[in-house]
Amino acid sequence: MTTLIQKLREERPLIHCITNIVVANFQANGLLALGASPVMADAIEEAAEIAAVSSCTVLNTGTLKKDTVTSMLLAGKSANQQGIPVVLDPVGAGATAFRKEAILRILKEVDVMLIRCNAGELAAIAGVDWRFKGVDAGEGEADITALAEEVARTHNCVVAVTGPWDIVADQHGTSCVTGGHPLMSHLTGAGCLLSAVAGAFLAVAEEDPFNAVTTALAFYKKAGEKAAEHASGPGDFKIHFLNALYALEEDVIQDCQFIRQPQGNDKGMTLS
Amino acid sequence: MTTLIQKLREERPLIHCITNIVVANFQANGLLALGASPVMADAIEEAAEIAAVSSCTVLNTGTLKKDTVTSMLLAGKSANQQGIPVVLDPVGAGATAFRKEAILRILKEVDVMLIRCNAGELAAIAGVDWRFKGVDAGEGEADITALAEEVARTHNCVVAVTGPWDIVADQHGTSCVTGGHPLMSHLTGAGCLLSAVAGAFLAVAEEDPFNAVTTALAFYKKAGEKAAEHASGPGDFKIHFLNALYALEEDVIQDCQFIRQPQGNDKGMTLS
Amino acid sequence: MTTLIQKLREERPLIHCITNIVVANFQANGLLALGASPVMADAIEEAAEIAAVSSCTVLNTGTLKKDTVTSMLLAGKSANQQGIPVVLDPVGAGATAFRKEAILRILKEVDVMLIRCNAGELAAIAGVDWRFKGVDAGEGEADITALAEEVARTHNCVVAVTGPWDIVADQHGTSCVTGGHPLMSHLTGAGCLLSAVAGAFLAVAEEDPFNAVTTALAFYKKAGEKAAEHASGPGDFKIHFLNALYALEEDVIQDCQFIRQPQGNDKGMTLS
């Protein structure tokens, strides 16, 4: 049976990223290392045209500008018309009113297949209290699983909330992905690249986006573990991480059994 | 006694950077490696809001655009209202009329705590003759120490002029920081990241910004020396440098005794 | 006899790049590693002023914006007035109508000394059929050598079409540069940096731009081969590649004999 990563490396899907100035290079190199083909294009004049010929469009709100919001709406709607998956990475959703409004507008006007975010960004989208801290996860008391399920229902999409462990929710249930390494939190754009990587998996998944997302998340965490074996700090961790995305096969996640729990089962989040 | 770097790693101050497309990724990774939390946000719509919740705002004029000048003024004034330190990195101050005017306007309208620059940028701010070369230090005959002291008096701030050796001046006197390694000059954004690192030290310094800046500069030079021990070229120097920012403790600078000389003492610049 | 790379490292030419958010950092670090001095400046207010004092201006259309097209025209014309070489890297020329129109306008209004592109971008400039794929080379049946010669005649410039092997054409003939390593295609911005590196060689070449470009391309391919000797994946390949640009001397290409064939000789592309 062909795995998703094998299919991805064979098809080399074109992943259109409207992204920020901090992570654009890392996202492009990460997608290339994985086996996908990145194209970054955020001008209003071309965003829809690029989205229409890509296999996935990834909208990332880091270093967001007013014009970029327009480009994201154009690209998102163009992708929707073509039936191409759209991933939203709502970077800093709770950091400012400008970002939150832009993100809620995108969610209203574009049919998003996956929201990949941290806990604070999820809280901002759900409109609950949170102690936001820039683009970090921040701190709060909310039940992340319940919130992820609510947002998945409201926006009819898959929601992946990542951190030391990842929650993946859709309208039907929730899984948890464990693993990874603390050095991932010292690498800027680790979440942003993950959104693009999940987009590349969605681009080659013929059905079952929930499974494509959990597979991408588990693969990414395994790449982090592999990289950490060789790293002495965040500098060379990044190098080994790109090498791991390039070298690993999907069998690294063969021991990961994602038990999908129905929504509302709060004993759910286990990985056996 | 808790050192500044220990305090920084414990508090993880949020450092707001309005910065350029060349160094944004390196600055973010450098701040994360050091132990701070970066947030890059330069939209007019959110610059003031981000500045208000950050622990330091760093304004960097590389790849400056007209709108970014507006964002910098908004962020700077917002930080001033909250009593949060503002660092100015006047990249290429002498390169074009546009940059010089923007920088002088920022210095007029915003209360800057630290100007971190190279010799050519200092000369441009002071309005003296210089052979400028893009964003490099260029060449000239001026007395850098006297100029740094003059600019520190005029703008009532700390001035750090960095290069093979660093001059730190405020209204009261001047110190010199030696050390570092020539490979630092082959790493794009080494000065830009230093401005952000100095901002992170200022963010956790309750008093004595002059001491926080000299400590940051000495720590940074020691990280350069440590990285160079393992590097065979500028490629892996960058990696080892990020690892050094992550791993080093403040005791690396315990032998550095900064003899602060009163202003106007031109025999001053010694490190014993 | 002084080689071009020796001259470059002695003169440290200032290379002005109007470039994209994906590769700006890598281009700057690559130019620094090589021995040149990068300056990135794309604001309308300063593009012409920076171009006028630089030794080469490199126009790169990745992540192109409307304002940036204006900056490129201003910078290109300014460089033309000073007799400074202009390099055009038409990233994604075939990807969208917006990019293609901008690129054709630049070629009409600016005297470009070198177009450095991939096969798909060449096809777009020449107006022939092609299966475009984002900013990748894509696929098509055209005779690349004949197209390169045609574009070189039409725009009175050197054309370098790079890929697994490189074609260099001007009005008088064509050469081929072989070598390099497949990992170069897993490194985002490898082509973009090459355009800037070729620009740095042009900046120190007193005559014979054709020779300067083939020398730059051969040197770059040798750096790729050298880096691949030590690399285990695309992550550390990038590091070793920067180190190779820093360390290699021009004697690495001493065995490369470029047999320049007159235009129209379709048995031409040999490297003996």
Closest-CA residue to C153 (of C11, C69, C263, C64): C263
Give the model's confidence band at A272: pLDDT under 50 very low, under 70 low, under 90 confident, else very high: very low
Q: What pLDDT was estimated at residue A138?
A: 85
Dist CA A219 CA A166 (whole Å): 12
pLDDT digits (tens, 9 = 90+) for C123-165: 999 999 888 888 888 888 789 999 999 999 999 999 999 998 9
In this structure, chain A runs to a length of 272
**Mean of pLDDT values over B232-253:** 96
pTM over 0.90: yes
Would you call A188 and B32 a contact, using CB atoms and an 8 Å cutoff?
yes
Dist CA C119 CA C121 (whole Å): 5
B143 by Cβ neighbours in 10 Å (0-12 / 13-18 / 19+) ranks as exposed
pLDDT digits (tens, 9 = 90+) for B121-156: 999 999 998 888 888 888 888 899 999 999 999 999
Q: What pLDDT was estimated at residue A15?
A: 98
Measure CB to CB from residue A23 to each of B25, B45, B243 and give the nearest one: B25
Number of H helices, E strands in chain C: 10, 9
Measure CB to CB from residue A22 to each of B16, B24, B54 and give the nearest one: B24
C136 vs chain A: nearest CA distance in angstroms?
8
A182 vs chain B: nearest CA distance in angstroms?
12
C144-155 helix and C119-126 helix, angle to the nearest 10 degrees: 50
- Three-state DSSP class for residue C48: helix
Structural contact between residues A138 and A131, judged by C-beta atoms closer than 8 angstroms: yes
Structural contact between residues A169 and A152, judged by C-beta atoms closer than 8 angstroms: yes
pLDDT digits (tens, 9 = 90+) for B188-223: 999 999 999 999 999 999 889 999 999 999 999 999
Cα within 13 Å of Cα(B170), Cβ side: 15
Close Cβ partners of B255 (under 8 Å, ≥ 6 residues apart)? none
Note the ipTM here: 0.95
Residue A257 has pLDDT above 90, yes or no: no
Measure CB to CB from residue C136 to each of A37, A243, A247 and give the nearest one: A37
Q: What pLDDT was estimated at residue C246?
A: 98
* C103 neighbourhood in chain A, CB within 8 Å: none
- Average pLDDT score, chain A: 94
Q: What is the DSSP string of C95-160?
A: T-HHHHHHHHHHHHHS--SEEEE-HHHHHHHHT---B--TTS--B----HHHHHHHHHHHHTSEEE
Residue C268 has pLDDT above 50, yes or no: no
Structural contact between residues B115 and B147, judged by C-beta atoms closer than 8 angstroms: no
Closest-CA residue to B17 (of B46, B60, B68, B70): B60
Residue B19 among known ligand-binding residues: no
Dist CA C136 CA C188 (whole Å): 11
Q: What pLDDT was estimated at residue B133?
A: 84
**Mean of pLDDT values over C233-248:** 98
**Mean of pLDDT values over A149-171:** 96
Cα within 13 Å of Cα(B179), Cβ side: 25
**Annotation: CATH topology of A4-163+182-211:** UDP-N-acetylmuramoyl-L-alanine:D-glutamate ligase (3.40.1190)
Chain B contacts to A (CB-CB under 8 A): 14, 16, 21, 24-25, 28-29, 32-33, 37-46, 49-50, 53-54, 238-244, 246-247
Closest-CA residue to B41 (of A120, A126, A133, A71): A133
Question: Taking the mean position of all CA atoms in its chain, how far away is CA C211?
Answer: 14
Q: What pLDDT was estimated at residue B99?
A: 97
C-alpha pair distances (Å), A230 with each of A15, A195, A243, B123: 29, 24, 11, 46
